[in-house]
Amino acid sequence: MDFEWVALALGDISWIFLAFLFGFLARLVSLPPMVGFLLTGFVLNYYGVTAGDTLQKLSDLGITLLLFTIGLKLNLNILIRPQVWLVTALHSTIITLFFSALVYAAVLAGVSQFSDLTISHALLIGFALSFSSTVFVVKLLEEKGEMRSLHGRIAIGILVMQDLVAVIFLAISTGKLPEVWSLFLLLLIPLRPLLHYLLQKTGHGELLILYGLVLALGGAELFELVGVKGDLGALVMGLMLSAHVKSTEMSKAMLGFKDLFLVGFFLSIGMAGHVTTEIVLISLMLLPLVFIKSALFFVLMTRFKLRARTAFLATLNLTNFSEFGLITAAIGASNGWLGSEWLIIIAITLSLSFILAAPLNHIDDRIYGSLKKTLLQFQSQTRLPDDQLLDSRGSTIAIFGMGRVGTGAYDKMREYHGDTVVGVDFDNERVKAHQQKGRNILHGDPSDADFWEKIGKDHSIKLVMLALPNIQANLDALEQLKKINFRGHISATARFPDEVTLLSQAGATEVFNIYTEAGAGFAEHVEMHLATEAGNNQ
């Protein structure tokens, strides 16, 4: 295979090696690889390497695909909840004004690093720092298997609302009014069934990816032709497919392409200017502002009736600065609204926020446990129907995770043990679908310390079956069971041999390797079928 085009796109094969090296080192210390990519850009800039037109095109392509995949994830049922849109509106407004006031106060106080800033500069900086990172949070939730948990869906909903604001800013930043031909974009709405039909017929391989690229890039180009920012076109085309059952599959299929091209964005940001001691000091001064963002998120979420734990976990997910802040700063710098050094300042502040947030999110339940008494003081007396503490209803068998494996296990255990079996899942829509089919399924989060504490005090559960979407989710549930000294039987599912070892060490009584056991079950099924045929032929 010829990789010459990759070397050309990045300017030199050494860039690829450095991006991989620093991204890999970041990964080893549980940081997002993008931190390593930013560092690569800083190092290259230090040695006099500058970003070229091709790298900029690579960066633009990454942003376009990012917005398209965001559109694919849009869930209007989540976005219309006041816990999402109203919290986002209040938080963004308050934080932008407050951060801007702090920056301008530094100007009035005569702090040398801020002396050249005006009120408009301060407002743009405050706006850039008001966002949280979609890339960071999505990857974090995917790794922990919490994308469909309530706190995960709330965090993603807030991020999508922030991204919509950012896209509107991107569209306005061009300084051009849309052409009259832009009205024809409304014709995309009746074309939605056709787009869905084509998506259904693309299958599961390379055509699915190619179709996504056509829609993302074609949508961006179409909007540009009528005087509308192309990034908005990519988002809209993603939104057109968001309700389709295969939208999640397409998003996952395009994930690698999006991440690859975003490398160009992070490299170009790191190469945008020189890192000086003064810039690092300003970044360190801005970093504590992330905790002010977090505190306001938590207060607003609890005021809108979210449980303290749900609000705290969603808040911790959002405790970072955003790549959209970088995009905003980059637009400000390119239009002459902001000095180019502020692009580097925000890039370093973003990297530092990731370094701070990554370990905190990996021990989120431990932090909640230590702060629980204080956090519960903010909790509203009335809470949302899908944010109540789970009641096991006297069941003796609890199956956590009602995907394909969990559903199969539930149906079989129900045959053996009757109504004493209960299923638990944190995807509210999946729970409703199961309930409509007559299954005894409850909405709950297996990593919820409050639930396990209640189970520990008064329960009749003797068998816990963990069929959660990934290894980390199963490990989190095992940790909670260990905390309450659960004495019953614990069975867990795994996909790889190393996961079997990890789950056994974490306290699982037995571990079921899905692929190995599925193969054995398949062979047994065929043998039974052949034996039946032989018996019928005799």
Higher pLDDT, 134 or 93: 93
- pLDDT per residue over 275-333, tens digit each? 788 888 899 999 999 999 999 999 999 998 888 888 999 999 999 998 778 778 878 87
> How many distinct helices (H) and strands (E) make up the chain?
25, 6
> Taking Cα atoms as reference points, which of 210, 209, 250, 216 lies closest to residue 230?
216
CA nearest neighbour of 96 among 20, 12, 162, 44: 162
Query: pLDDT tens for residues 111-159?
Result: 777 878 888 889 999 999 999 988 778 777 877 777 777 888 889 889 8
**Rounded to an integer, what distance in angstroms lies between the CA atom of residue 332 and that of residue 127?**
11
What does the alpha-carbon distance between residue 265 and residue 51 come to, in Å, rounded to a whole number? 10
- Phi, psi (rounded to 5 degrees) for 489: -90, 135
Percent of the chain with pLDDT over 90: 12
Alpha-carbon distance of 60 to 339, in angstroms, equals 21
Backbone angles phi, psi at 445, to 5 degrees: -115, 120
Q: How far apart are CA 34 and CA 362, in angstroms?
A: 18
pTM of the model: 0.73
Do residues 167 and 84 touch, judged by C-beta distance below 8 A?
no
Residue 262: DSSP 8-state = H
SS3 423: strand
Closest CA to 424 of 451, 462, 460, 450: 451
Checking if the pLDDT of 469 tops 50, the result is yes
Chain length of the chain: 538
Structure tokens at 262: 């975003």
Provide DSSP, 155-199.
HHHHHHHHHHHHHHHHHHHT--PPPGGGGGGGGGTTTHHHHHHHH
- What are the chain's domains? 4-376 (1.20.1530.20), 391-537 (3.40.50.720)
